Chain A
Amino acid sequence: MLLVMALPVLGYGQFCADFHKVGSCRTDLVPSYRYYSQSRGDMIGVGYTIKYNVVFYGDKDYIVSFCTLKNFYPVHFKIVDEISEKVLYDNKEDDYIESIGFGVEKTKMILIEVEVLAHKASDKEIEEYYPCIGMLIQFKESGR
């Protein structure tokens, strides 16, 4: 109850802002990679799609991981070229795997679209909750 009373003061999304650091995304941390500041935690609803416009720098390898609350998995995400709108990767083809590693040859703007499919959530949960979604991005220089 106190938490809900605090919501208008603190901002609803604040409770999710650190989710990528405290949620199960942490299990994807790789020691040889570094935390990329474009990582985010946000509030999401079932049926919503969040689109993040992220700059990925050239000659770097990235790992992008997603996490949410238990019953709201799987997370569906797409990596889209911002200019051509061409889908470069869709995790639906990989049975909704939660993490993807890739290299980037040239710096580019990428659109990451994410939604929670909530296959295990009850109708009541889907109706009443806005779970958090975490996007953890890690990077390293290519070839290191």
Chain B
Amino acid sequence: MSAMEYKLLRIFVFLVIVHVLSACKFEKQREGEAVSASKIDSSLESLQEELNILEDVLYLYPIPGEIIEGFFDAELEYKSGLVNSVEKKDSYLESRSQALNLGIYITDLAYSAKFGLTGEALGYLEAVYSLGTRVGVSTEVFQSLLDRAKENISDSDSIVHISNEAFYQMIFFLENSNKENTLAVISVGAYIESLYLVLETKELFIEDDPVFTQIGDMKYPLDNLLDRAKKLEGDKNVASIISYLISIHEIFDKLVVDETETAVSKKEGKLVINGGSTFNLNAENFMEMKSAIRSIRAEITTI
């Protein structure tokens, strides 16, 4: 028996004792009933699952607020009419469309907050609350954020902070209640909306515009999303959104890559990681990506 198995066995025995004791103390009404073996099995499985996850690589999700901020700090202006209407929130009836549109709304929340449209942002926070609870996120996660947003409606910095907090809290809740599948679908919705807002804000491709370098950088979070989704493809909702990610990935694969070896140097006493890959868009890539994202986004948001 390995050290890990021994450790797990000890925890298993401990959990058995805990459940026996808790059954004795709290379940008088079920006197004589055997301690549920399946409950203990699922506890052990859950622990084993978490340890297995930790043995693997954790692909971290991008936060829409940070993506939006990164892009729209770079001289991009607000464009009206791009965000998905909050009026549609009650029309998404399937768990798949609810999770995808939750990702879309949470990005629209970040977008509205970024441009100081606090009233609109509040509407998106309410939509996030509504869809969030329908996909299984506890109401407690959003209630305090909603209350804080209402109290700070005139303070756009607070609303930006609250919009980021909404996503952190959601990740925290879903990861820790074994709803990784839902989180993967939400994150794909958020990623698609982030790209949609940026691509639709730009009318034409302009060489040397740093925004297009940033769009090329979006390949990295896409890789993480795809790798993580593939690990969860046993879930039908996740399986159904992998095709979106693959079709976007195929466009990124067409970009010309400038590659230099990654190396570490010291500059004025500071460690600097140099080199790596730059994914260069041209006008054709830009138009193809814009059209693909527009079509995927329409498929997701259309009722």
Contacts and interface: CB of A to CB of B under 8 A. Distances in A.
A53 B224 contact: yes
Contacts of B224: 53, 55, 109
A40 interface: yes
Interface in A26-74: 36-38, 40, 42-45, 47-48, 50-58, 61
A96 interface: no
Nearest to B55: A48
Contact of A53 (B43, B59, B65): B59
Nearest to B268: A103
A103 B273 CA distance: 6
B54 A55 contact: no
B46 A8 contact: yes
A128 interface: yes
Task: Bin the interface of chain A by size.
Answer: 35 or more
Assign chain B's interface to a size class. 35 or more
Q: Is the interface of A mostly helix, strand, loop or mixed?
A: mixed
Given A103-B267, A108-B276, A13 B176 contact: yes
A79 B262 CA distance: 12
Given A45-B51, A52-B60, A102-B272, A109 B66 contact: no
Interface of A: 1, 4-5, 7-8, 10-14, 17-18, 36-38, 40, 42-45, 47-48, 50-58, 61, 79, 81, 83-84, 86, 88-89, 100-111, 127-128
Interface of B: 3-4, 6-7, 10, 14-15, 18-19, 21-22, 39, 42-43, 46-47, 50-51, 54-60, 62-63, 65-66, 70, 164, 167-168, 172, 175-178, 217, 220-221, 223-224, 227, 261-262, 264, 267, 270-278
